[in-house]
Amino acid sequence: MSAFFKNLYNKRRTTHPFRWWIKRKADSFKPELTKDNQKFIDDYFQTNFSTPLIVPDLFNKSQKVWTPESRRVGLIARKIGVYPMWLKDGQRILTTLLQVNDNHVIKCYNSEQFANQVIHQDRYRYQGLACAIIGAESDHFIKYSAGYAGLFVEAGLPPKKKLTKVPITDDALLPPGTPLYATHFRPGDWVDIFGLTIEHGFQGVVKRWDFAGGHPINTTKWKRRPGAIGHGRRAGGPHKGKKMPGHMGRERKTLNGVEIMRINTKENVIYVRGPAVPGETGNFCYIFDTKIIEKKLTEKNPPPFPTYFPGDNELPVDLYHPDVHRFEDETIQFVETEKEQQQRRTGAKIAKIRK
């Protein structure tokens, strides 16, 4: 019975934070600090964590060859807003802006080390894969507990607001402390995005499951109700997974097959086609390469592997998809073919004769 009914319902949300995580926040009790101690803390933070980390020795060692079976690292971004742009045909599209803010690699595990950590139920899913931990948006260490801040000591980074684990192959391992930029992707790539959706609260059956309901005028007392629930007591009552009113929203959803139209290298912003990225403005999103077979990366156009490392040649501020019209270009003009020119002249002659 359990296997049949488990497929009918999915656990939508889990308790957060999990009980096996390290305690993140610092104690609420804060002792009064003397002026010298306060100054020491501020100086320590400024000398060690105020400037961005540059790791030049890594850039030459970790250049590797990309294969179609290898899997590389992703990014954590924040949704900023929505913004229209125009194509060269004159068509209008909407794009969402995703800002990649202070992403660093914090730790990497081999495939052997990762296999010891994986839960028994997920052993087939992560078979032969390694793991990398990524963090986004650095913060002052005084807000966090000692155990959480100790995770970042090996990489030499301040503690981060957001962490994830990413499954990768052994080719794409990176040393701790490498920065990740928005040029990890290129305009024209296809991408999967997932995030937490908008919160709607306790909602009824018409909004949550798209039920039809009843007529708003010709009925009494039955307008937005579900109707029948089961086949009676003998048949076992309502079956498991029955669609009913309940909490809606704030669950993880993925958008597969999204195209990148533009990248801003100065502010590290990715422009993605379509307004349907899950979540409100200000929410975190996770970006990876697609799994769709028709739009995967190919050997003819290999990506920067394992990531993009900045070299001597500086990139321009804006990188565009070839179909997109740039605002600095001139206005769009359409060219007439010979057929249309002849039609226009004959049409004008006929109109003159009629008048």
Partner 1 sequence: MSFPGNSRLLNQISLLVNYARNFNTSQILNQARIGTFMRVVDNSALGKQAMLDGKPPKIIGIYRKPRIAELGTKVIVAIKGQKKKGVVVGLVRLQKPFVPRFDSNNMVLMDDKGNPLGTRILVPIPNLIRKETYGLNKIIAIATRFV
Partner 2 sequence: MVLPRVIKLIHSYNVPLYCQLRSASRSWIYKGGKGIDKGKGFSFTYTSTPDDKRQIPLSQKLIPEELESMRLKYPEFLPSTKPEHRNKIKTVLEHNDMLQRRNNIDIPEFYVGSILAVTVSDPNAAGKISRFLGICIFREGTGLNSCFTLRNIVDREGIEIRYDLYNPTIRSIEVIKLEKRLDQDLRYLRDAEPQYSTFPLDMEPELRKEGAPVPVNPIKVKMLPLPWSIDWFKIRYQHQTYGIEKMRGVWEYYYKRSVHNRHHNEYEQFDLMKEYRSHIPEDAQLPIWNKLSDYEKSTSEIKKKARRAKMIKR
- Contact set with partner 1 (CB under 8 A): 92, 347, 350-351, 354
Minimum CB distance to partner 1 smaller for 91 or for 117:
91
Minimum CB distance to partner 1 smaller for 221 or for 354:
354
Report whether 281 contacts 80 (CB < 8 A).
yes
Q: How far is the CB of 14 from partner 2 (least distance, A)?
A: 27
Distance between CA atoms of residues 307 and 297, nearest Å = 15
Distance between CA atoms of residues 214 and 228, nearest Å = 13
Contact of residue 332 among partner 1, partner 2, none (CB under 5-8 Å per partner type)? partner 2
Tell me which residues touch partner 2 (CB under 8 A).
80-81, 83-86, 90, 92, 97, 99, 264, 267, 269, 280-281, 325, 327-336, 344, 347
Q: How far is the CB of 330 from partner 2 (least distance, A)?
A: 6
Report whether 213 contacts 206 (CB < 8 A).
yes
Q: Which two tokens stand for residue 67?
A: 């294969």
Q: Which two tokens stand for residue 84?
A: 């229209």
Distance between CA atoms of residues 132 and 110, nearest Å = 9
Minimum CB distance to partner 2 smaller for 65 or for 351:
351
Contact of residue 154 among partner 1, partner 2, none (CB under 5-8 Å per partner type)? none
Q: How far is the CB of 69 from partner 2 (least distance, A)?
A: 37
Distance between CA atoms of residues 9 and 347, nearest Å = 66
Minimum CB distance to partner 1 smaller for 241 or for 347:
347
Q: How far is the CB of 249 from partner 1 (least distance, A)?
A: 25
Q: How far is the CB of 349 from partner 1 (least distance, A)?
A: 12
Contact of residue 351 among partner 2, partner 1, none (CB under 5-8 Å per partner type)? partner 1
Comparing CA positions, the residue from 333, 336, 327, 335 lying closest to residue 83 is: 327
Backbone angles phi, psi at 166, to 5 degrees: -125, 125
Over its C-alpha atoms, the chain yields an Rg (Å, rounded) of: 27
